[in-house]
Amino acid sequence: MKLLLMALAALACAQQPVKKETIVVTGTYEPVPLEEADRPVRSYSLQAEQPLLSNTVTDFLNRDPSIDLRQRGAHNIQTDVSIRGGTFGQTLVLIDGLRLNDVQSGHHNMDIPVPIETLDRIEVLKGSGSTLYGSDAIGGVIHFLTKPPAQSEVKIRTGVGNFGSNHQRVSASWFTGAWGQQLAVSRDFSAGFIPNRDYRNLAITSNTHLRTRAGNTGIVLAHADKPFGAEQYYGNFNSWERTKTWWASVRQSLGERGTASFAFRRHTDLFVLYRDRPQVFTNRHAVESFQAAFRRFEPVGTNAKIHWGVEGLRDAIDSTNLGNHRRARGAGYAALDVRALQRFSFSIGAREEIYSSVESQFTPSIAGGVWVLPHLKLRASISRAFRLPSFTDLYYQDPANRGSPDLRPERAWSYEGGFDWNTGGRWRGDVSVFQRRERDGIDFVRTSPTDIWRATNFQRLHFTGVELSTAWRRSNHVIDLSYTGLRGGQEARTGIFSRYSFNYPNHVGVAGWHSALGQGMVARTRIGAVQRFARDPYAVLDVYLARTTGRFHPFLHFTNLTDTVYQEIFGVPMPGRAAVVGIEVVAWRGR
């Protein structure tokens, strides 16, 4: 036995995989290096990749072909986001591990109340995440993580561009070692590239981090206000809409093994069907959500840990259209995570979520990985997920749409396998093959073009896909190539028209280039080619340039440089070629 253990240890040392400093927390029970994750996770460092080369969080998310951004305009005015062919309600959005999803409608899930200056990174989990996060994580999870202020400085940024666009940003940070404080304000507005597509975005955030004997404390207070012209957004109407978000969250570490967190979110939505005749049809919705969570782990021997946690959530809506409703949930989870010899990893977990007093959902998962070669890791997972119907699914009514109060929750099993390859030098790559089998999927459907849309449970849907990506790095140049292919099927309920389920992309390819050009100049390009189900393909090219040294940082953004005519949501045209030129000034920086 002693000789066997010595042989295993020698094998582990000989085949020890390349490690990097990138640490991820999404889809794992504790922070781990990206290479050690047993699920496909992608991480974007907003600060390391130069925020001057981006304007909104969508500029990062559109670099992943498995993320489908169905935008209704530039600068994240209103964005439906899905992963691996799911609907926009099947993607869970988090801020610092706390839920941002809106119980009124998934259309509001990407109403991110914090500007990019406050964010440290974005992590994306592809595939089911309900065991750890609960409802809505069927297609995947998008996790926005704020950054603790690391230095004292004041930055001012402004820019102007086509269609009367104007951008202003101010960020002020103070750092004393044990205390960090950041205040950030972001304002974007435009007259619109066509009539009734004007918008004004405002976001204000306070981000506080404290280090005390009790542990690390993080406090985020944020507010966002987004009025916009909604021409053709919800049909052949010249609509107008205004959403507001208030967010308050507290995260407290409890020693080295536990954390407690709490968040409050209020979201209001004022919707006018005809902007020039608001008296015809106007809806007002107000959603309030409270959530609290406690997470902890206990070591079991040398190579294993037991992770467990409990959560409580309460959602409420007061609406002129949907009525007044309340929904409370409680959940508990436990998982065993094993990592041995720096070669093997295995986790098994389960979550029980109870809602509406008596109903519940049980979501187990199992995942594992092994380094079969020094630079090659195999991984696989099986998991179950679910989504509770939104209040719009249940109760909405207008001249063209009807909710259904008797809807059942969506349920899905996900299966995936793949490998990650990383030489630790110029090349890396990964391949994933996955399948998701859904039951009782929710969508608005009709049986003829003259019928109204009714919220309905599909009996069975399934999606099968493949994800390929590779990256080449040399000196200060990085080239990324990635592709996602997806095929969906419906095993029952033929002869009906679906509004959302079959708008997914069959093929998406993304090519990107990021480079430091010298003299403080940096550049990034992205070209994305998309072919949606039963629609013609299109491609969009974006180019970003900036100078990052010194106190004055000029930048130039070109979007849709090829002037492509396209729609991410059918019937909603996207802007043509546009440019934004601006400058960031470091007004003050402490020593």
CATH assignment at residue 243 = 2.40.170.20
Residues in the chain: 591
Amino acid at 223: H
Residue 252 belongs to some domain of the structure: yes
Within 10 A of 452 (CB to CB), how many other CB atoms are there?
12
Using CB atoms within 10 A of its CB, is residue 274 exposed (0-12), middle (13-18) or buried (19+)? Answer: middle
- For 151, the domain range is 14-589
Residue 6 belongs to some domain of the structure: no
Instruction: Provide the terminal-to-terminal Cα distance of the chain, rounded to the nearest Å.
Output: 58
Give the Cα separation of 207 and 203 in Å (integer): 13
Residue 503 near residue 70, CB atoms below 8 Å: yes
Residue 4 belongs to some domain of the structure: no
Listed in order, strand segments (DSSP E) in 274-343 are 282-300, 304-319, 323-340
Q: Phi and psi of 334, rounded to 5°? A: -150, 145
Give the Cα separation of 478 and 68 in Å (integer): 23
Whole-Å CA distances, 302 to 119, 143, 307, 337, 341: 35, 30, 15, 11, 10
Distance from CA of residue 351 to its chain's centroid?
A: 22
Residue 138 belongs to some domain of the structure: yes
Q: CA torsion 354→356→358→361, rounded to 10°?
A: -40
Residue 89 belongs to some domain of the structure: yes
β-partners of residue 379 are 369, 418
Backbone φ/ψ region at 82: left (φ over 0), alpha (ψ -120 to 50), beta: beta
Q: pLDDT (tens digit, 9 = 90+) per residue, 37-80?
A: 999 999 999 877 788 999 899 999 999 999 999 988 788 889 99
Residue 5 belongs to some domain of the structure: no
Mode of pairing for the β-strands spanning 304-319 and 282-300:
antiparallel
Residue 108 near residue 224, CB atoms below 8 Å: no
Q: Phi and psi of 303, rounded to 5°? A: -115, 5
Question: Cα–Cα–Cα angle for 218, 223, 224, nearest 5°?
Answer: 135
Tokens representing 556 are 């130039």
Alpha-carbon Rg for the chain in angstroms: 24
Tokens representing 254 are 């409890």
Output the pLDDT for position 217.
Answer: 95
What is the enclosing helix (H) or strand (E) of 58? helix 58-61
Distance from CA of residue 358 to its chain's centroid?
A: 31
Q: pLDDT (tens digit, 9 = 90+) per residue, 413-455?
A: 999 999 999 887 789 999 999 999 999 999 998 888 888 889 9
Closest CA to 32 of 427, 305, 381: 305
Whole-Å CA distances, 312 to 120, 317, 329, 443, 552: 27, 17, 6, 27, 47
pLDDT < 70 stretches in the chain: 1-21, 357, 491-495, 591
Residue 463 near residue 487, CB atoms below 8 Å: yes
How many Cα atoms sit within 13 Å of 436 on the Cβ side? 30
How many Cα atoms sit within 13 Å of 522 on the Cβ side? 18
Whole-Å CA distances, 370 to 22, 88, 373: 19, 33, 9
Closest CA to 223 of 241, 201, 208: 201
Give the Cα separation of 163 and 186 in Å (integer): 19
Residue 2 belongs to some domain of the structure: no
User: Quick check: helix, strand or coil at residue 237?
Assistant: coil
Closest CA to 35 of 537, 388, 347, 376: 376
User: Quick check: helix, strand or coil at residue 5?
Assistant: helix
Residue 576 near residue 560, CB atoms below 8 Å: yes
- Number of folded domains that form the chain: 1
Using the CB atoms, write b or e for 119-157: b if 16+ within 10 Å: bebbbbbbbbbbbbbbbbbbbbbbbbbbbbbeebbbbeb
Whole-Å CA distances, 194 to 189, 252, 539: 14, 47, 21
Distance from CA of residue 525 to its chain's centroid?
A: 21
Residue 321 near residue 397, CB atoms below 8 Å: yes
Output the pLDDT for position 340.
Answer: 86
Give the Cα separation of 570 and 502 in Å (integer): 11
Residue 389 belongs to some domain of the structure: yes
Output the pLDDT for position 475.
Answer: 83
